[in-house]
Amino acid sequence: MKRRQKWALGLGIAAAVLGAAWLAVAWWLPTDEELAARLAAAAEERLGVKVTIGSAHWALLPRPIVVVNDFRTQQAQPVVIGQLTAHLKVVRTLLDRKPVFERVGIGGAVFPRNSVRAFHGTAGASKPDTGDGDSVLLERFEFRNVTWISHGGIAVIYDGEIDFDARWRPRHAELRRAGIRPPFTLTLKREGDADRWQTRIHVGGGTAHGIVALKSAASGAMHLSGQLTPNDIELASALSSFNRRSPVGGKGSGRTVVSADGKSVGELARSLHTRTVFSVKPATILRFDLEKAVSTLGKEHEGQTALQELTGQLDTQNTDEGMRATYTELKARAGKRTATGEATVYHRQVEASGTLYLAEGAMGVPFTVSGPADKPKASVPPASFAAAAVSAAVVTGTGTGARIGGALGRTFEGGEQQPVTAAPVAPTAN
């Protein structure tokens, strides 16, 4: 038999085999309706909640793809994925005998934190398959217009992508807030094959760059650690990037230490703790007028307070019911007045206490601030205020003491302000 005839016969046999294989695959693979039913059943088993899928479609040519539309959990606040697209790597899937994806993308999704935490199926019962050796089960994950709703009901929309190495290690990752000005971006870049990532954060017109590292034990326990250097971050703008209101305005800088422990990415996220030593110069207390609070003994405080400096330490701790923020070693200076204190913000409620010094050498005035973070109430004990006011008047001998005395007259006498005789010295600026 001539060589050309042999090649023709070989190609004919190959075509016949491929044709038979295609018919077998087409026979085995489900219809779109069957695929949607199978995916919904598998999701219900994994998540432990009822799931509906609007439609699903698969195709082998020109490239293997599965598209799922309108995925929805049956919960009070449903988890919704408008569209999920998965591009399968057929050869690797056949060789590894497990699904291997070139790219998975989701768009138009909503993830309420409380609903995600309510999942109780097999999703958290076993460790996810991390692949063997150099195998990568998912090369790239993309997400667009994905809304995360916090425990307190605050919704924030993100875009981003992650390129994976083996064992689900991000090689490169980026998280963004579309349409936010100044922009927010968080970028991770892996250092070779080490479990260390260069971290670059742009937020509030400033930066918070640094390094994070992951250590894994044979038991499966993981420890995340890192250090960041916040620099010239406008606080009100930074929190506004995440649809939150800052109690303080001004550009802050400092040092941040990050730590977390767990046996999964979810556990690491839930245990995340940060500690930041910060300084804001100058600063503004937003929605709180210290002068007004002092003169009315806390009855009125609407407005703002300009500060020459605000320093302290902020600890954030993720919990099952949201993030707890604790401020300690707070020190503020406004003219001749200084204040020290501490505060906790949790479940959008603030509890704070401190001491206000009306002038250098004067007795301190204790105060408390409590209530909703957007509209807290201030309280100042009248007796302590009176003692401190007299002390301030004696120390300063200026118009400051006179004004405080006038406030005391209005408060304790209940009548018109009485003239106050001050020492014969010129009033000084406050």
- The 10s digit of each residue's pLDDT in 27-40 is 456 789 988 998 99
Q: What is the mean pLDDT of the chain?
A: 81
* pLDDT value, residue 143: 97
Would the pLDDT of 2 be above 70? no
Kindly report the pTM of this predicted structure: 0.80
Among residues of the chain, what percentage have pLDDT more than 70?
77
* pLDDT value, residue 397: 44
List pLDDT tens digits, range 397-422. 444 434 433 443 343 334 333 333 33
Which pLDDT band holds residue 386 (cuts at 50, 70, 90)? low
Pairing of strands 185-190, 196-203: antiparallel
Between 109 and 122, name the one with better pLDDT.
109
The sign of the CA dihedral 346, 385, 414, 396 is negative
**Can you tell me the distance from the alpha carbon of 383 to that of 74, in angstroms, rounded to the nearest whole number?**
58
Find tokens 């699903």 and name the residue.
56
Q: How far is the CA of 408 from the CAs of 13, 36, 110, 118, in angstroms?
A: 104, 74, 55, 55
Would the pLDDT of 387 be above 80? no
Q: How far is the CA of 131 from the CAs of 126, 134, 164, 191, 327, in angstroms?
A: 14, 8, 12, 21, 43
Find tokens 């509906």 and name the residue.
52
Would the pLDDT of 249 be above 60? yes
* pLDDT value, residue 413: 37
* pLDDT value, residue 22: 45
* pLDDT value, residue 398: 44
Which pLDDT band holds residue 19 (cuts at 50, 70, 90)? very low
Which pLDDT band holds residue 71 (cuts at 50, 70, 90)? very high
Token pair in block for residue 139: 């090369």
Instruction: Tell me which amino acid residue 374 is.
Output: D
Would the pLDDT of 428 be above 70? no
**Can you tell me the distance from the alpha carbon of 193 to that of 185, in angstroms, rounded to the nearest whole number?**
24
Average of pLDDT values for 55-81? 93
